[in-house]
């Protein structure tokens, strides 16, 4: 028996240490494939269905490898879970003498310099900020890490955090008076010394491109890099391999210049005036787009009245501020830093406006308070492929959703991993018994004006028989709002007492906690709840998906990629749009069955799933549930489920 056979066996160290552990052949086989890739320093792309236990499947061989390991996760939440729960559990079970560390982006750590500056400045957006600042000040004196996630009393989205943390732009580095006590530097030192370091994808790619967050220093020593939730990488990598600049960065500079002026150049009155003028130019540029958030290609933005003038006005005011900062730069490190940032921002804005790189798609994204000017690569394959060259190491890409019918070619092509080995393991769950896939009859075409209403009407009978306990996952925010509004009226009209929740009413974690506690709620949500959400048990028994999640064709980057593929004589739909939709749909569908005891119905309202030729390819990529188009089968499913649960509660065997 090999080491892994013993470790994952019913009598091995995992079974001895972990309550409820049992042998899953898929997990063992995945661990063996990962161990082989680590031993041979190869690239492995691995899909493991929900319930396989992929986290332990990569952690066990990684901890046994004896080399330095970097594990990158999709979100900070998963990062915390891995570091605080999964890694210690596996390390203790294996009695492995390895040290572990967690490294986050600098915005997650309190900055002594900016905290002191905020206290001295004394200008706050609200009374809440004043209260939060006192809490942060006390916390900074007692914390070992400076990680803001440890201070739960101050919400993660509190506006004060921006004033007491640093960015790559406004960090003073070794010029800082608090450099020796810097929490970011301490976190990096711990990461340098550790055998296993947990990061997240945004940090990994920000650092690979910007050489800023400490990962670049870790990579040369790493024998193994594991990407969990690897399906997110193409989008995240695209963000960092591009050349973007935001009005938020310019606004931060204006505010920092004003604050540093108070500290280092109080007598220089022109500086706050120039900072105020730049802030006004930024606001004027944002107002060009009205109130709504939007995305548009550069050509459309240039046609918009006031766009070119607004952008030029902002650039002119930035140049004026930069000139003043240059004249005061010698008065202190803060002023010097602001001047250097102003120069960088001037160059970035000029480069974006010039648009000289034909491999980058220029587009504009408008948020409530800011405008982001993007230049995104048409393909990341070549750029990412270069990251894998150089020192030989193992690269593991793991997720529950990477393949289309066990075919990885779309993902491999996107990431430039053509030579990679692949592994595909089905979920160990009994989907034919545990779940039903229901596609209602009589639905209109998804592009019809009243489609959201049709979805809500079709979903209501299913929600009634499931007794609430439903996620309604929408492909757009507009659909989400329309469906929620229809349900609100219908629930009141019919006297239905299922609590109705809406994405955005509070934070994702708060909504999830309420959903679990209520036990019979209906949550209407959009993109935030399609992945990374785990609700086990009866509280979630129905997942409704409004339509197949094809990326919107008016997305500027998608449109450019479609044009490129079609120009090359390829089918953009079959090679790009369809695989994207399959992988996204698998994520949404994956919310339903999270445990061996879970039972439920997956309702996909889009008739293209059964009426279009490509629909077969989509549903064959989903777990092997029973399929039906009859509401009567949904009713029968929940009747049988209710009977089984009643029998179990009465002491009978199920």
What pLDDT sits at residue 292?
75
Q: Which domains does the chain have, with CATH numbers?
A: 24-99+194-240+380-425 (3.40.50.300), 106-181 (no CATH), 244-356 (no CATH), 431-649 (3.40.50.300)
Task: Give CA 327 to chain center in angstroms.
Answer: 42
Instruction: Please choose, from the candidates 529, 531, 400, the residue with its C-alpha nearest in 3D space to the C-alpha of residue 474.
Output: 529
Q: Report whether pLDDT(208) > 90.
A: no
Is pLDDT above 80 for 97? yes
Query: CB-hemisphere CA count at 13 Å for 409?
Result: 6
Of 217-231, 452-466, 595-609, which gets the smallest average pLDDT?
A: 217-231
Q: Decide if pLDDT at 76 tops 50.
A: yes
Structure tokens at 306: 């006031």
For strands 100-102 and 196-200, give the pairing: parallel
Q: Is the per-residue pLDDT at 215 higher than 80?
A: no
What is the biggest distance separating any 2 CA atoms in the chain, rounded to whole angstroms? 83
Beta pairing, strands 360-366 & 294-297? antiparallel
- What mean pLDDT do residues 419-426 have? 94
Tell me what the pLDDT averaged over the chain comes to. 92
**By the 8 A CB rule, do 377 and 242 touch?**
yes
* Tokens read off for 425: 């393991």
Task: Identify which of 294, 604, 631 has the alpha carbon closest to the alpha carbon of residue 474.
Answer: 604
For the cut 70, the answer to whether the pLDDT of residue 14 exceeds it is yes
Q: Does 337 score more than 50 pLDDT?
A: yes
Give tens-digit pLDDT for 148-162. 989 989 988 788 998
pLDDT recorded at residue 1: 44
Q: What is the dihedral of CA 345, 351, 353, 354, to 10 degrees?
A: 160
Report whether 460 contacts 490 (CB < 8 A).
yes
- How far, in Å, CA of 247 to CA of 621, rounded? 42
Give the helix, strand, coil percentages of the chain, each rounded to 5.
Answer: 55, 15, 35
532: pLDDT strictly greater than 90: no
Alpha-carbon gap, residue 328 to 351, rounded angstroms: 26
| Mean pLDDT in residue range 16-29 | 93
Mean pLDDT of the 182-211 span: 88
What is d(CA 593, CA 107) in angstroms, rounded to the nearest whole number?
35
**Per-residue pLDDT at 307 exceeds 50:** yes
Q: What is the mean pLDDT of residues 600-627?
A: 95
- Give whole-number Cα distances, 216 to 211, 326, 387, in Å: 6, 31, 11
Query: Using 50, 70 and 90 to split pLDDT, how confident is the model at 278?
Result: very high
> Do 475 and 526 contact (CB within 8 A), yes or no?
yes
Percent of the chain residues past pLDDT 90, beyond the cut: 73
For the cut 90, the answer to whether the pLDDT of residue 635 exceeds it is yes
**Beta-ladder partners of 603:** 438, 544
Collapsing DSSP states into helix, strand and coil, what is residue 644? helix
Task: Measure the CA–CA gap between 258 and 334, rounded to whole angstroms.
Answer: 11
Do the bridges between strand 600-604 and strand 542-545 make them parallel or antiparallel, or are there none, so unpaired? parallel
Backbone angles phi, psi at 225, to 5 degrees: -120, 125
- pLDDT above 90 for 385: no
Alpha-carbon span 564 to 551, nearest angstrom: 16
Give the confidence band of 168 by pLDDT, cuts at 50, 70, 90: confident
Compute the average pLDDT of residues 20-30: 94
**How confident is the model over 183-188, as a mean pLDDT?**
93
Instruction: Please give the order of strands across the beta sheet that includes 500-502.
Output: 500-502, 522-525, 470-473, 542-545, 600-604, 435-438, 626-628
What percentage of the chain reaches a pLDDT higher than 70?
98
Are 525 and 473 in contact by the 8 Å Cβ rule? The answer is yes
Summarize the confidence of residues 631-650 as an average pLDDT. 89
Tokens of 222: 């790493």
pLDDT at 167: 86
The per-residue pLDDT for range 229-245, each reduced to its tens digit, is 999 999 899 888 888 99
At 308 the pLDDT is 96
DSSP single-letter state for residue 223 = E
Q: How confident is the model at residue 213 (pLDDT cuts 50, 70, 90)?
A: low
Give 355-377 pLDDT, tens digit per residue: 888 889 999 999 988 999 999 99
Q: Are 377 and 205 in contact, with CB atoms under 8 Å apart?
A: no
pLDDT at 242: 87
Structure tokens that stand for 571 in this block: 């089918």
According to DSSP, the residues that pair with 626 across neighbouring strands are: 436
218: phi then psi, degrees, rounded to nearest 5: -80, -35
Tokens of 49: 């269905």
The C-alpha R_g of the chain, in whole angstroms, comes to: 26
pLDDT the model gives residue 485: 97
521: left (phi over 0), alpha (psi -120 to 50) or beta: beta
Give the pLDDT of residue 245: 95
């Amino acid at each position: 028996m090999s080491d892994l056979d013993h470790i994952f066996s019913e009598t091995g160290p995992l079974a001895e240490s972990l309550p409820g552990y049992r042998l899953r052949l898929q997990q063992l086989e995945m661990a063996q494939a990962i161990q082989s890739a680590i031993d041979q320093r190869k690239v492995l792309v691995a899909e493991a269905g929900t319930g396989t236990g992929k986290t332990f499947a990569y952690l066990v061989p990684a901890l046994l490898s004896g080399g330095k390991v970097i594990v990158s996760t999709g979100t900070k939440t998963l990062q915390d879970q891995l570091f605080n729960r999964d890694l210690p559990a596996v390390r203790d079970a294996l009695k492995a003498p390895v040290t572990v560390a967690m490294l986050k982006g600098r915005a997650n750590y309190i900055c002594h310099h900016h905290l002191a500056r905020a206290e001295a400045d004394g200008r706050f957006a609200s009374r809440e900020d004043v209260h939060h600042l006192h809490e942060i000040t006390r916390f900074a004196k007692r914390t070992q890490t400076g990680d803001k996630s440890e201070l739960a009393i101050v919400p993660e989205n509190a506006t004060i955090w921006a004033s007491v943390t640093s960015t790559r732009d406004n960090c003073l580095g070794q010029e800082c008076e608090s450099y020796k006590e810097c929490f970011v530097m301490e976190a990096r030192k711990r990461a340098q010394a550790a055998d296993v370091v947990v990061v997240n994808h945004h940090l990994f790619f920000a650092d690979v491109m910007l050489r800023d967050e400490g990962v670049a220093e870790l990579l040369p020593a790493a024998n193994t890099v594991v990407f969990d939730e690897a399906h997110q990488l193409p989008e995240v990598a695209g963000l960092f391999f591009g050349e973007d600049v935001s009005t938020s960065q310019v606004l931060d500079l204006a505010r920092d210049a004003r604050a540093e002026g108070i500290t280092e150049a109080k007598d220089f009155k022109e500086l706050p005036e120039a900072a105020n003028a730049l802030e006004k130019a930024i606001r004027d540029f944002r107002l060009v787009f009205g109130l709504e958030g939007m995305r548009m290609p550069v050509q459309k933005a240039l046609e918009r009245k006031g766009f070119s003038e607004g952008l030029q006005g902002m650039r002119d005011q930035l140049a004026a501020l930069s000139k003043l900062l240059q004249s005061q730069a010698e008065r202190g490190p803060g002023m010097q830093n602001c001047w250097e940032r102003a120069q960088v921002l001037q160059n970035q804005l000029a480069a974006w406006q010039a648009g000289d790189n034909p491999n980058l798609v220029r587009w504009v994204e408008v948020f409530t308070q800011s405008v982001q000017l993007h230049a995104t690569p048409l393909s990341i394959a070549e750029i990412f492929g270069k990251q894998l060259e150089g020192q030989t190491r193992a690269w593991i890409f793991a997720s529950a959703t990477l393949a289309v019918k066990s075919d990885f070619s779309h993902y491999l092509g996107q990431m430039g991993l053509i030579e990679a080995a692949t592994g595909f393991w089905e979920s160990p769950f009994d989907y034919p018994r545990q779940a039903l896939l229901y596609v209602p009859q009589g639905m209109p075409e998804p592009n019809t004006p009243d489609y959201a209403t049709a979805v809500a009407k079709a979903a209501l009978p299913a929600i009634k028989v499931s007794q609430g306990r439903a996620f309604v996952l929408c492909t757009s925010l507009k659909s989400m709002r329309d469906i929620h509004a229809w349900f609100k009226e219908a629930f009141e009209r019919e006297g239905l007492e299922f609590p109705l929740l809406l994405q955005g009413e509070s934070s994702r974690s708060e909504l999830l906690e309420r959903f679990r506690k209520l036990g019979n709620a209906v949550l209407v949500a959009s993109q935030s709840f399609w992945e990374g959400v785990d609700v086990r048990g009866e509280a979630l028994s129905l997942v409704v998906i409004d339509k197949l999640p094809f990326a919107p064709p008016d997305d500027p980057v998608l449109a450019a990629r479609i044009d490129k593929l079609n120009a090359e004589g390829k089918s953009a739909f079959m090679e790009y749009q369809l695989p994207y939709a399959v992988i996204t749909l698998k994520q949404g569908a994956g919310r339903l069955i999270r445990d061996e005891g879970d039972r439920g119905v997956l309702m996909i309202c889009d008739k293209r799933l059964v009426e279009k030729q490509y629909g077969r390819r989509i549903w064959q990529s989903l777990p092997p549930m029973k399929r039906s188009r009859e509401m009567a089968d949904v009713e029968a499913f929940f009747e049988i489920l209710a009977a089984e649960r009643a029998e179990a509660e009465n002491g009978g065997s199920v």
